[in-house]
Structure 1
Amino acid sequence: MSFAAHTRPTPPQIVGILGGMGPAAGADFVRLFVQACTERMGALGIPVHDQAYPEHWLAQVPIPDRTAALNDTRPGAHQPADPLLQATGRLAALGARVVAIACNTAHAWHGLLQQRFPQLVVLHGVQEVASALARRQVRAVGLLATQGAYEAGLYQRELERQGTDCLLPEPHEREWLMEGIYDGVKAGNYPLARLRFEAVALALQQRHGVSTLIMGCTEIPLALAEHPGLPGVALVNPSVELAAALARHAYGCADALG
């Protein structure tokens, strides 16, 4: 066997992405994942070229509304569980070993997916965010999210475990967020979305003095990220944290923090 054969790098793992919640957010997550892979290769000293990126599959399948399903727990076609399971099964059949869920509220079904597919690592994006904030010693954050995510306590629970206070909008402000998500981003009206998201972000900042905000719905960064209307506020994009975690797993660095 040649020396080259001994030194040939191990190919990255095949990974999968559960998208379609909504489609624009799923497509944007792929962009973030490719960017995270480029950064990971640089950190590992791997030459960056097309063939060095991991094989990754995006399942953009129609998934019933997550918030509506959490408010109506009766079994039926309005529930996301079956299509989420079917899409995960397709990703597993394609060889994926690690799967990321490109939707915050859909993490309410994370436990079910992990239980049904024990051969996979189903990443928990909310836990990734909470851990990242704890490492940065952020003690209090404001949360912009869907009504379903608030009611399920997805972020509140994980942040509390890490010792981070989670500050929530008032009920009418949550309605503004839902309007920005559904009548704004999902309907293609980004100016409306930005207006609603900024109003809630500024209200949290002024009421609590908080300087870090989690954009806890994949639609929110599409209208709000890197916008100059929020001076002095650090915006945390959970998709960025999840994409970085997926890249670490793909290159065999799941325990790395960087």
Structure 2
Amino acid sequence: MKDRLILGIIGNTGPEADEVLQALIRLECAKRGASKDQDFLPTIVVKNPNIADRTLAIFEGETSPSLGVIESSEILLRNGCYFAALPSNTTHYFYEEYQSKTDLYIFDIIKLTIEDIKKSGTRKVGLLATTPTVETRIFEDRLAKEGIEVVTPDAETQEKNIQAAIYGTATPGGNHKQRLPDGLKAGNQALGLERVSKAVSKLAAEHGVEVFILGCTEISIISESLGIRHADIRFVDPMKLLATECVDFYTDVKNEIESIKNPITDPKIRITGISREEAIQYVAKKHMHNNIIIFH
């Protein structure tokens, strides 16, 4: 398998996040005609328990998750992966920090989401995300540059209906570590759906929001149920966009490889800030330099 073009997934940024992403990638491949094992994307997943909690890193100054992300990236590189998906929105607060320290090209899930919203022509969106994602404005500031207003829950709704839905109910006087195990991260989808649904109804009624970003991979787990319950609302799911990009990018790199005729030297460029086309060329050249090309 090492001679093949391989997608990497940096897992363990949510108990089910990498599994949900793999399922979405499988569905995307099936939509394009995949019908047997050999038709699906070669993939290596690294579930690294050393990726630190993002909320604790942002709010309490604890260890940055970048250290674990870089460690996972190096494992993927050693095993022939040159591009990867990281299924976590909050971790992207540290995107430039970890991307600047690895030769592995990592998709920017925030950028993919913003591009999708721009194409739709939407001028106002609601954001359902962890409190660190909301307070660090990783969506808001970039959407504001595109003239798109972002509406977020008030502080009480954010805690009781979003943060608690994801991490569990906060105990009286407790900090982020002291929560009940009744959130989506603990597998409680029924309660999580009820909580998030209340926030959706409140923002829709009070602010006229008709489009919501599911800005946490745990909330993506209940996206189908939210869509059924709120049929008049459009939910933008970054995880689905990431899955689509994984398949699109793989296809584009494969085509780029097949178009290259001359011997390739190992590309040495700064990955941070490169365009999608530059990333395709980078991954293709990286792969050709290090592998015998085999496609089936």
Into which bin does the TM-score normalised by the smaller protein fall? 0.7 to 0.9
Q: Paired residues, what number?
A: 236
Question: By how many angstroms is 1:208 displaced?
Answer: 1.0
Identity %: 26
8 Å contact 1:12–1:54 — kept in the other structure?
no
Corresponding residue for residue 8 of structure 1? none
From the CA coordinates, give the structure whose radius of gyration is larger: 2
Q: Distance in 2 between matches of 1:159 and 1:246?
A: 23
Q: Name the amino acid aligned to 1:199.
A: K
Q: Name the amino acid aligned to 1:96.
A: C
8 Å contact 2:54–2:91 — kept in the other structure?
yes
1:146 equivalent among 130, 133, 139: 130
Q: Name the amino acid aligned to 1:142.
A: G
Unpaired runs of 5+ in structure 2? 169-182, 254-275, 278-296
SS at match of 1:31: helix
1:24 equivalent among 9, 16, 31: 16
Q: Distance in 2 between matches of 1:192 and 1:113?
A: 34
Q: Name the amino acid aligned to 1:223.
A: I
Q: Distance in 1 between matches of 2:164 and 2:77?
A: 35
8 Å contact 2:223–2:237 — kept in the other structure?
no
Q: Distance in 2 between matches of 1:114 and 1:84?
A: 9
Answer yes or no: is 1:252 the counterpart of 2:243.
no
Q: Distance in 2 between matches of 1:51 and 1:224?
A: 29
Answer yes or no: is 1:172 the counterpart of 2:172.
no
Answer yes or no: is 1:59 the counterpart of 2:55.
no
Question: By how many angstroms is 1:85 displaced?
Answer: 1.0
Corresponding residue for residue 98 of structure 1? 83
Answer yes or no: is 1:71 the counterpart of 2:59.
yes
8 Å contact 1:98–1:246 — kept in the other structure?
no
Corresponding residue for residue 140 of structure 2? 156
Change (3 A) 1:51 1:113: same
TM-score by length of 1: 0.85
8 Å contact 1:23–1:60 — kept in the other structure?
no
Q: Name the amino acid aligned to 1:55.
A: P
Q: Distance in 2 between matches of 1:140 and 1:52?
A: 39
Q: Distance in 2 between matches of 1:13 and 1:165?
A: 39
Unpaired runs of 5+ in structure 1? 1-10
Question: By how many angstroms is 1:113 displaced?
Answer: 2.2
8 Å contact 2:89–2:217 — kept in the other structure?
yes
SS at match of 1:22: coil
Change (3 A) 1:50 1:162: farther
Corresponding residue for residue 205 of structure 1? 204
RMSD: 1.9
